[in-house]
Amino acid sequence: MPTPKSAPTKRAAALSVQDTPSLQCASDALFRAGDECCRQQARLARVLEQSCGEVELEGVIEVSVVSARVLEAAGEHYAGLASESHDGLDDACWHAANSLWHASREYARRHQSCNLKSAKLSRHSAAQLGELAVEYELKASAVLALRYAVEQYAKVRPESK
């Protein structure tokens, strides 16, 4: 019985993935996760501006939380590989990926902090609301830093999209 032509193609595709350095794959995955987090934060802002209702807002928040978890996992994976060596990344990509990693860590930290403080405040005093407002401003700053790092990585490695 003849072998289908798709079998060698699948094997070749699997080999080409293995040829790519794992650190390069990890930094590209970190880039895509960071890009998605920024996209979800922009979506959340649009939904909040439009006041479309609790059902949509809950769904958008849920997707945002999942994308933050994916970003955190991608950052941990990248950090584990990058701590061993930076084989497979040229200097420009290495620096862009490290900046992206730092921005993603700060974003994850601010995201968790906002979630924890929001959950603890069922009844708020004016001072507590002020603290929460500061936390959200810091998170917004972390989102901007993440967006900038994502854009810089995309300039250095446009094929990662």
pLDDT in tens, 40-62: 999 988 998 998 788 998 999 89
Q: Containing domain of residue 92, as a range?
A: 22-160
pLDDT of residue 16: 52
Asked if residue 148 belongs to a domain, the reply is yes
pLDDT of residue 48: 87
Tokens of 129: 């609301």
Portion of the chain with pLDDT greater than 90, in percent: 51
d(CA 100, CA 94): 10
**Which residue type occupies 91?**
D
Q: Which residue has the tokens 């996209």?
A: 39
Mean pLDDT of 86-106: 92
User: How many other C-beta atoms can be found within 10 angstroms of the C-beta atom of residue 131?
Assistant: 14
Residue bearing the bigger pLDDT, 147 or 138:
147
pLDDT of residue 161: 83
If we measure between CA atoms, which residue out of 55, 73, 63 comes closest to residue 36?
63
* pTM attached to this predicted model: 0.79
Q: In this structure, what CATH number is given to the domain that contains residue 126? A: 1.20.1420
Asked if residue 10 belongs to a domain, the reply is no
Asked if residue 17 belongs to a domain, the reply is no
Asked if residue 131 belongs to a domain, the reply is yes
- Counting the structural domains of the chain, the total is 1
Asked if residue 118 belongs to a domain, the reply is yes
Asked if residue 64 belongs to a domain, the reply is yes
Instruction: Answer whether residue 124 shows pLDDT above 70.
Output: no
